[in-house]
Amino acid sequence: MRICSLLPSATEIICELGLSESLVGVSDECRWPAAVVGKPVVTAARIDPSKLSSLEIDEAVRDSLRDGRSLYTVDAELIDELDPDVIVTQDICAVCAVSSGELASACPVGAEVVSLDPRTFGDVADSIRLLARRLGVEQRGEEIAIHMSRTADEVRSGARGLAALRVFFAEWLEPPFCAGHWLPEMIAMAGGIDVLGRAGEPSYATKWETVFALQPELIVVGPCGFGAEDAAARADGIGWPCPAVAVDGDGYYSRPGPRLAEGVQQLGHLFHPDVFEDSGLPAISLGAGTRRTVRIGA
């Protein structure tokens, strides 16, 4: 089977399924795991986020969406040359990757298009099962989905009875976007309360004044598409009224794949450090402050 993945999370899932050798084409943003680097690139973003500020990226995205222009280029000739049996993409977010609709003129005759569109943590696990079933490795997909769910459930059980921490998770910085889709659930699993995000719903823009007025006890900075170091650099200059920490939003929070469970583990430690061990994921402190975990009824 020959597979083109236009979605970083799908590429990650495909490799976890043991099918990395079947990947014949990927998007420019597919860089995990390392084995996919160097594979033919069939789609790429029209803007280079590394050269723009958070506000400039937001403005470029809004301009493109308003004008009906895609944020991505698709190399139809290369896709045709690679002759994939399956093309994997998404329709949940016009910013994250090429949508299935954009493939109308680039999809080889006979290729199956699989769209992964999870909105909740459970949906992510189900999307792993769906892709595994379509690719003929259903049992392996079930194993990955179960492990992901059990890992998150262990954190949920450990957080039961703890005083919930008020949290704001920044999926973008300028303007700030609250957590969306599966992220509010992850925060709840880890023993937190998301002060603005709504489980299963898209993230949305707000203002730092609004966020600060809600008096979060911790702000987690994990802008979509960036690692912890880039997140910390982009957050420089924001005056935090409470403890704040930068994390790898791209790898463990905004990407709907198996590593979300590791994100839940990290949140558990960030929220309740005297209950949950540090999992070792990247985290950079941005503001001073200490917290004490209290177990209700203790």
Structure tokens at 76: 């139809």
Q: Which superfamily, per CATH, for 144-285?
A: Nitrogenase molybdenum iron protein domain (3.40.50.1980)
At 65 the three-state DSSP class reads helix
Question: Please, where in the chain does CATH 3.40.50.1980 lie?
Answer: 3-117, 144-285
Could you tell me the two tokens for 232? 């910390």
Tokens of 57: 């990226």
175 preceded by cis ω (within 30°)? yes
By three-state DSSP, how is residue 100 classified? Answer: helix
Cα separation of 118 and 255, whole Å? 10
Q: Give the tokens for residue 37.
A: 């680097």
Output the pTM of the full model.
0.88
Residue 139 sits at φ, ψ, to 5 deg, of -65, -45
Question: In this predicted structure, what is the pLDDT of residue 60?
Answer: 64
List the chain residues with pLDDT less than 70.
46-52, 57-58, 60-72, 91-109, 288-298
Cα-trace Rg, the chain: 19
Q: Which residues make beta-bridge pairs with 284?
A: 246
| Topology at the third CATH level for domain 3-117 | Rossmann fold (3.40.50)
For 90, half-sphere exposure in the C-beta direction (CA atoms, 13 angstrom radius) is 22
Tokens encoding 38: 């160097």
Element (H, E) at 117: none
pLDDT of residue 95: 47
